[in-house]
């Protein structure tokens, strides 16, 4: 757990380093400071409003015990087992089976599931999935993943400015246009790869934590296999429009397959299932 947090901290520091690099190109030392201030302001905005933004983006509707009794009761039971505050519970009208958690802290969290996953999974499998999402809540991964996604997007914007308007070197002189083009290509790519590395690291920990909360590692393993067999064949319009949100889902919702292993937002399902089977003391199933 400590090692995982250390790796995440290093990766987040690397993203801020890219911010400073692009800012330095745009305006030398003052540009670097401005970029870092911009990054900090972006983080502050995301800290307060990320859950509202994402839930509105996916047109999620809040449910309660009367409107979605089984789903709500599963979340409530798992929350009690995990010792967490009760989050707000949402349903998203999407056929693709998927789920995510969002919010700035366990006290201000929300969990959401698509109508597709509610129809497809058994109660036991759904319980495993929601335990995974509540593990994200408990570990505050939802804030880390949202901040990393937002910073990656902001770096792309700054890099685009660098290509269009040029920049200044550390001494304030006009920079090489070729350097601007390199930054415009390499900075967003590096930020995206770091963001995805953060996401993959947190997913393994959420699988482990979710299995402990539910007490049933095989339930999550079975759910992951079932979700993967259907998710990529059913498009999710909002995720395709806002791909930076893909890392929030329990399974990558995007349909693209090009360079999948390099740009994967989640660990390979086979590896996730293998680790969960080991937790249950069973051999991996085919």
What's the rounded Cα separation, in Å, for the pair 165 and 25?
11
| Per-residue DSSP letter, 168 | B
Among 90, 131, 91, 86, which Cα is nearest to 108's? 86
Give the tokens for residue 121: 């999974």
- Region of 93 (left: φ > 0; alpha: ψ -120 to 50; beta: rest) is beta
Strand order in the sheet with 61-63: 61-63, 88-92, 109-114, 99-103
Among 102, 115, 122, 105, which Cα is nearest to 51's? 102
The answer to whether residue 133 is catalytic is: yes
Query: Which candidate in 94, 125, 133, 228 is catalytic?
Result: 133
Quote the distance between the C-alpha of residue 111 and its chain's center: 13
What's the rounded Cα separation, in Å, for the pair 223 and 166?
49
- Region of 253 (left: φ > 0; alpha: ψ -120 to 50; beta: rest) is alpha
How many Cβ atoms are within 10 Å of 57's Cβ, its own excluded? 13
Among 100, 132, 111, 62, which Cα is nearest to 276's? 132
Residues serving a catalytic function are 133
């Amino acid at each position: 757990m400590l090692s995982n947090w250390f790796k995440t901290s290093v990766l987040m520091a690397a993203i801020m380093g890219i911010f400073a690099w692009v800012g330095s190109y745009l305006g030398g030392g003052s540009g670097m400071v401005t970029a870092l201030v911009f990054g900090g302001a972006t983080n502050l905005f995301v800290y307060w409003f990320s859950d509202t933004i994402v839930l509105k983006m996916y047109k999620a509707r809040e449910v309660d015990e009367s409107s979605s009794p089984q789903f709500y009761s599963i979340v409530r039971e798992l929350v009690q087992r995990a010792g967490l505050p009760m989050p707000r519970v949402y349903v998203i009208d999407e056929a693709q089976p998927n789920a995510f958690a969002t919010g700035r802290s366990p006290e201000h969290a929300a969990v959401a599931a698509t109508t597709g996953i509610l129809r497809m999974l058994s109660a036991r499998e759904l319980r495993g999935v929601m335990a995974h999402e509540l593990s994200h809540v408990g570990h505050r991964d939802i804030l880390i993943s949202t901040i990393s996604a937002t910073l990656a997007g902001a770096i792309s914007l700054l890099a685009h400015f660098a290509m269009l308007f040029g920049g200044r070197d550390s001494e304030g002189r006009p920079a090489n246009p070729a350097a601007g083009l390199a930054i415009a290509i390499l900075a967003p790519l590096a930020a995206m790869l770091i963001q995805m590395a953060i996401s993959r690291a947190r997913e393994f920990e959420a699988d482990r934590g979710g299995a402990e909360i539910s007490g049933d590692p095989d339930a999550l393993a079975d759910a992951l296999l079932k979700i993967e067999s259907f998710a990529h064949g059913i498009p999710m319009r909002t995720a395709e429009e806002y791909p930076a949100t893909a890392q929030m889902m329990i399974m990558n919702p995007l349909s693209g397959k090009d360079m999948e292993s390099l740009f994967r937002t989640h660990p390979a399902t086979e590896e996730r299932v293998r680790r969960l089977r080991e937790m249950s003391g069973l051999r991996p199933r085919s």
